[in-house]
Amino acid sequence: MDILIEHVDVLKEGRLIRDTDLLIEGNRIRGIGNIKCEAEEKIEGKDLVAMPGLVNMHTHLGLTLAKGLFDDLSFEDFLRQTEDFDRRNTREMIYKSAVTGMAEMVAIGTTCFLDFYYDEDIVERAAETLGMRCALAWAVLDEDKTTQRGSPIKNCEFFLRGKRSTLVTKGVALQGVYACSDETMLKAKDLASETFLTMHLNESQGEVYSFFKERGKRPAELVFSLGIMDENFIAVHCIFLTKREIEALRNSTVVHCPSSNLKLANGIAPIPELLEAGANVALGTDSAATNNSLNMFADMRLAALLHKSTHWDPSIMGHEACLRMATENGARALGIDSGAIEEGKLADLILVDKRSIYPFTPSNLVYCTTQRVDTTIINGEMLYRGGRFSERIRKEL
């Protein structure tokens, strides 16, 4: 379907192009400017601002139905209870969880996500049914530490060999050093030779200290020594990093999950220092079990405020950096041709109602809490418009 959005403000490269037109043909952005043409769908955009869709770089959609079940627990108790939940989680529950989580994300402006769980073939089916773009990473860990049926390595390998989709990118996920032997990590690296490898890394102080006591190395040090950290490596959390570990991550992607880290009292990642070192930093919400929300706007705001406070410097994490972390940095990590509104890019974008943020400025997309997403377009298809889901989503809810 061709879509013409008229008289809309467009957020492009951090600046606002006011009162212009935006043309989508098929699944690509084909024009920005004064456009006079017919289109199958026309949207009056005078009260709207078009911006890149948000890219949520760390989710566990199979846990969406666990929202509110494990609140106010220590990290160790949380892990024990989620492990028990995983054992009882059925394929039917995972599908319902995935659909529920995707609908929540679509309604708040997320156009792509990276999921980290097992039974990702179910999440894949849900994404294709709803029309959502995603990267799906099958969780790999030692066989004696998993709740999966069968071998995690073999399960992941089978998943990677499966059908290909224009909306779904497949990758590999390492649970963490506490559940993966060196051999398992190296096998996962081999599996991910032509795709991305994501991993929980330095997730808590307890993990770092106990691992060092056992192995004589910090988690990030060990992962670096195994040759796993490269441009296709996506490290999640990254709390309690040394300067040497920050330098080791300079060519990789780090996913910042501020809400989850704070709720579990795990600590604060050194994001300004990682950015300064050259790492590609993106944002993630983590699961609904640790965040209770998949709202990327909320995590964007928290990331900005958190680091200003901890560094006693209001300029250290500007709104433009946070917007990039929530959009183009994630798309770059996944090799997806979106994350920005430019001619030729994939049409993964959202329309925010300016009346929900008055007066409107680009910085208020980060610092306000009143943003109302009017429209979410993924791969050129409107999945959400005027507070109403598309028919394909409504059928699954």
Q: How confident is the model at residue 164 (pLDDT cuts 50, 70, 90)?
A: confident
Same domain, 322 and 346: no
Same domain, 99 and 148: yes
Same domain, 274 and 373: no
Per the structure, how many domains does the chain have? 2
Of the residues 299, 317, 334, which one is the last residue of a structural domain? Answer: 334
- 299-331 residue pLDDT tens: 999 999 999 999 999 999 999 999 999 999 999
Same domain, 129 and 26: no
Residues near 205 by beta carbon (within 8 Å), at least 6 away in sequence:
239, 240, 266, 267
Same domain, 371 and 249: no
Same domain, 311 and 362: no
Same domain, 37 and 150: no
Residue 396 lies in a domain: no
Residue 161 lies in a domain: yes
Q: How confident is the model at residue 230 (pLDDT cuts 50, 70, 90)?
A: very high
Of the residues 318, 334, 350, which one is the last residue of a structural domain? Answer: 334
Q: Give CB contacts under 8 A, 24+ apart, made by 11-15.
A: 11/49, 11/50, 11/51, 11/52, 11/323, 11/341, 11/362, 11/365, 12/340, 12/341, 12/342, 13/340, 14/320, 14/323, 14/362, 15/362
Q: How confident is the model at residue 87 (pLDDT cuts 50, 70, 90)?
A: confident
pLDDT of amino acid 193: 94
pTM of the model: 0.96
Residue 61 lies in a domain: yes
pLDDT of amino acid 80: 87
pLDDT of amino acid 298: 96
CATH of the domain at 58: 3.20.20.140
pLDDT of amino acid 185: 97
Same domain, 254 and 218: yes
- 45-86 residue pLDDT tens: 999 999 999 999 999 999 999 898 899 988 889 888 888 888
pLDDT of amino acid 127: 97
pLDDT of amino acid 75: 86
pLDDT of amino acid 79: 85
pLDDT of amino acid 76: 87
- 340-395 residue pLDDT tens: 999 999 999 999 999 999 999 999 999 999 999 999 999 999 999 999 999 999 99
Residue 211 lies in a domain: yes
Structure tokens at 316: 């250290």
pLDDT of amino acid 373: 97
Same domain, 41 and 66: no
Domain range enclosing 48: 3-53+341-391
- 100-150 residue pLDDT tens: 999 999 999 999 999 999 999 999 999 999 999 999 999 999 999 888 888
